[in-house]
A and B are shown apart, each in its own frame.
Chain A
C-alpha cells in the first residue's frame, strides 16, 4: 500500500471496503459477560439511526464496493425495521447476514426475511448445558436457542453457529460440536473470547488455561477429520496465547467498515476506545469521505505510523503490528506493538494477565454482566478501580 504521507493525506491509495457491519442497536435482551461492545454503550442507546438513514448507509457503502453485510448489535431483532433493511440489502446485491441471539425471531419475521432475500443467519449458542447458557448470558434462553436453530434450518438457510469460548464452556467442546452436528450446522465458529469491552473487565473470570486451549484445539481437529467437509469448523485462536498478534480487521481501513447504532463510522469494533481520535458520523459525513479522507481511517492505514520494534520488523506485513485498540488498552500507547507479540517490550502485561486469570483469589471476583444498569454505573465512574485494573490508561 502506498502510504507516504504520514497516513493522513487524501492521496493515500486506500483499498475498497468489502464488508459492512451494521451494529444497528446496542439494546440487547442478553447480558453476556464476554460481550465486546463498549462498556459505555449506554451513552449510544438514545440516538439510534432511523430506517432511512440505514438505507442510505447501505446504498453509499454498496457504491464503494461493500458486498458482505452483517446486521448486528446488540440484538438487531429489537428493531422492527430489519425486514425493510434486509429487502434493500438484497436489491442492492449484498450478501446479507443477520447476527442474532435468536431472541425475538418469530415464524412471521423469519418468513419475511426469507422473502426479502436475507442470505444467512448466524445464531449464537453458548453451551450444551442449560446452567452455563443461562449463567453466562444472565438470561433463560437455552431452550429458545434450539427452537430458533430448527426454524433457521427449516427455512433452508445455511446454519451458522457462533460459540464464544471461555473458561465455562471450553471443556465441553466435543459435546458442543456434537450438538452443532445434530442441529445440522453448516458452519461452526468456535470463537475464543478476545478481550475488549465487557470481556476485558471480566478477563480473570473468562480466560481458560493454555492446557484447556490446546486440548480444545486437539478435540476440534479430531472432530474436523471425522466430520469432513459437511460441517465447516473454524477455531479462532485466542491471541493471548499466541506468539504473534492477529492482523486485526485484516488491516485498519483495508476491508472492514462498521457503522454503529448512533451512526459512527469505525474501522473496527472497539476503535472508539482510542484517544484523541474523532470518528466520522453518517449524520454529517458521507461514507465515501469517511472511508477515504477522514483522518481517523487514514491514521493507521499501511505501516508509516509504526514505531520500533514493528517499524523494522521483517514480519510487519503479516500482522501490521496487531491490534491498535489492544495496544492502547494494555500499554497506554496506541502506536506501540500489540503486546501479544513476543517481540513487544510489553509482552509482560500479557504474561501477567494469563497469570492473574489463574490466580484463585482474582478469578473469584464477581462478573460484571453487560446490562444497561452496569453501563450507566460505568459511565457514572462507579467502576473506575475495576476498569483501571484492566486498562493501562496513560
Chain B
C-alpha cells in the first residue's frame, strides 16, 4: 500500500481511538481487541480525523517535535501500519 501525502484518513468504523489515563497512552479499541499505542503512534493517530492530510499531519508533528530526525518517514510508516491493520481507512 502506498501512502500519498495528500491522502486523508479517518478511524475505521467499529473502532475507537482514545486516551487511557490509567495506561498513560492512546489505545485503539475494536471487537475483541485493544492495542496500546506508543507515544509516536498515538500522536499520529490522534491527528487522523477525516480532515487532516498526511502532509498536514507531518507538518504539525515536525513543529511539535523539531528535534526528531526522520520523523516524516516514521509517520508514513505508522499510517501504513494502521491501514494494514484496518484501524483507519482512506476517505479521499
Contact = CB atoms under 8 A, between A and B. Distances in A.
Most chain A CB within 10 A, of B16, B22, B32, B33, is at B32
Nearest to A187: B31
B46 to A, nearest CB: 16
Given A16-B22, A64-B22, A93-B18, A187 B27 contact: no
A175 interface: no
Interface string B6-40: 00000001101010101100010111111000000
Interface SS of A by simple majority: mixed
B81 interface: no
A268 B15 CA distance: 26
Contacts of B30: 95, 158
B68 interface: no
Contacts, number: 44
How many interface residues does chain B have, given as a range? 10 to 19
Given A119-B14, A119-B16, A67 B34 contact: yes
Contact of B29 (A68, A157, A229): A68
B89 to A, nearest CB: 11
Contacts of A18: 34
Contacts of A63: 22
Contacts of A187: 31-32
B63 to A, nearest CB: 29
Given A97-B31, A158-B31, A234-B32, 20 more contacts: A18-B34, A63-B22, A65-B20, A65-B22, A68-B33, A68-B34, A95-B16, A95-B29, A95-B34, A97-B32, A119-B14, A119-B16, A119-B31, A120-B14, A158-B13, A160-B32, A186-B14, A186-B31, A187-B31, A189-B32
Interface of A: 16, 18-19, 63-65, 67-68, 93, 95, 97, 119-120, 122, 157-158, 160, 186-187, 189, 229, 234
Interface of B: 13-14, 16, 18, 20, 22-23, 27, 29-34, 86
